[in-house]
Amino acid sequence: MASPLLSLVPAGSKCGGWHELARIISLSLTRQDWALQTRCSSHSNTWKASSDFNRNGMKPLGSWSLAIGHQYSSLGTQPILCGSIPGLVPKQLRFCRNYVEIMPSVAEGVKIGIQECQHQFRGRRWNCTTVNDSLAIFGPVLDKATRESAFVHAIASAGVAFAVTRSCAEGSATICGCDTRHKGPPGEGWKWGGCSEDVEFGTMVSREFADARENRPDARSAMNRHNNEAGRTSIIDHMHLKCKCHGLSGSCEVKTCWWSQPDFRVIGDYLKDKYDSASEMVVEKHRESRGWVETLRPKYSFFKAPTERDLVYYENSPNFCEPNPETGSFGTRDRICNVTSHGIDGCDLLCCGRGHNTRTEKRKEKCHCIFHWCCYVSCQECIRVYDVHTCK
């Protein structure tokens, strides 16, 4: 249903949501013996797994390692010190204590959300850059209510819902599992089986934890909650029936089917389209019994009002051409560009008209591969020379 007026729902800090959660939380998981951390350069920014963390306490893992715990050795023993995580609001603290088993999945969801953001924006002037020496993973970029902020909130919220749902279906936690509601009459030639993924539980976790900070009557809170929900809704909308064939010689006489989430790349592609068509809003203030309240309405009345599936924003983005510590722009100098493209990833647009440099690069590649019966492939190693174009 279209919503021409987005009413405010309570919010946390100036930015709220994932940006603020990232600032206040660190992740250290001894059960899986890995930790999430960020690396930043002017060209690429990636998440990596590391087993190098302080077993006597929390190791700083850059600005955006999402929270969840101190040390524990198994799901049966849970000395996760939720109370020691700085900055959690009371509702988040209660959630952490009540759902301590799934907090690693929350962290995993944020990680895949960031990875997908960096994939989707790899050819854009803003390429979802993360910073290592800041209190906020994206620097000041998300301080503004821009399209970029809208996308990050949506993809992170979707990532958490996705990861928690998948973890429950895999049996990683005792408090959740398969969706047992799909027991109705099957279709022709198939029957219910396998483990249908309980997306409602996953979206509940994402909503309860992330939106807990959104409790102030300001426009940014309305925007964050709307975009968080748009991300979660994208998971629900893309649930589909997945089937496995049974029968002699793959005859598929009978199929066993279950509800499954799509590959997360599908969600990323979908939300990227929503980013490109995001609705620009304006802020309106009016007085209620609880005081002044801000609401959002579409800036242009002749455009279709945004639905719950659309992304919304109300501040313009910087052009991200030049470094600017105030806006969080890293600029595009030294970024690799596509000299044959006329799109945003092309050298003309990505380099903002400054031109580009070209260098040659030698790469080792497998070549002249031969299949041997039976059954292996042998290859030679070749040196190939490529032209690499970077922005001036």
Do 22 and 54 touch, CB atoms closer than 8 A? no
Residue 341 pLDDT greater than 70, yes or no: yes
pLDDT in tens, 260-294: 999 999 999 999 999 999 999 999 988 877 778 88
Most confident of 39-43, 53-57, 71-75: 39-43
User: 93 pLDDT band (50/70/90 cuts)?
Assistant: confident
pLDDT in tens, 198-211: 999 999 999 998 88
Domains annotated for the chain, with CATH where assigned, are 17-331 (no CATH), 333-392 (3.30.2460.20)
Do 64 and 75 touch, CB atoms closer than 8 A? no
Give dist(CA 340, CA 337) in Å, integer.
Answer: 9
Residue 13 pLDDT greater than 50, yes or no: no
Q: Which residues pair with 242 in a beta bridge?
A: 258
Residues 6+ positions from 188 with CB-CB distance below 8 Å: none
Q: What is the pLDDT of residue 68?
A: 30
Q: What is the pLDDT of residue 71?
A: 25
User: 255 pLDDT band (50/70/90 cuts)?
Assistant: confident
Q: What letter would DSSP give residue 116?
A: H
Give dist(CA 307, CA 230) in Å, integer.
Answer: 9
Q: What is the pLDDT of residue 21?
A: 54
Structure token digits, residue 63: 């600005």
- Amino acid sitting at position 301: S
Least reliable range by pLDDT among 125-134, 213-222, 224-233: 125-134
Give dist(CA 64, CA 40) in Å, integer.
Answer: 12
Q: What is the mean pLDDT of residues 236-243?
A: 93
Q: Positive or negative CA dihedral for 8, 10, 16, 18?
A: negative
Greater pLDDT, 121 or 94: 121
Give dist(CA 215, CA 186) in Å, integer.
Answer: 43
Q: What share of the chain is helix, strand, coil (3-state, %, to 5)?
A: 30, 25, 45
- Within 13 Å, how many C-alpha atoms sit on residue 77's CB side? 8
Structure token digits, residue 335: 């970024």
Give dist(CA 66, CA 51) in Å, integer.
Answer: 16
User: 187 pLDDT band (50/70/90 cuts)?
Assistant: low
Do 20 and 13 touch, CB atoms closer than 8 A? yes
Percent of the chain at pLDDT > 70 equals 75
Query: Considering the entire predicted model, what is its pTM?
Result: 0.78
- 3-state DSSP assignment of residue 236: helix
Residue 242 pLDDT greater than 80, yes or no: yes
Strand pairing class (312-313; 279-288): parallel
Residues 6+ positions from 261 with CB-CB distance below 8 Å: 162, 165, 166, 197, 199, 235, 238, 239
Greater pLDDT, 50 or 141: 141
User: 247 pLDDT band (50/70/90 cuts)?
Assistant: confident
* CA 92 remoteness from chain centre: 19
Residue 37 pLDDT greater than 50, yes or no: no
Mean confidence (pLDDT) of the chain:
79
Q: What is the mean pLDDT of residues 285-308?
A: 86
Greater pLDDT, 390 or 20: 390
- Amino acid sitting at position 382: C
Q: What is the pLDDT of residue 267?
A: 97
Q: What is the mean pLDDT of residues 240-266?
A: 86
Give dist(CA 153, CA 295) in Å, integer.
Answer: 19
Structure token digits, residue 261: 């989430």
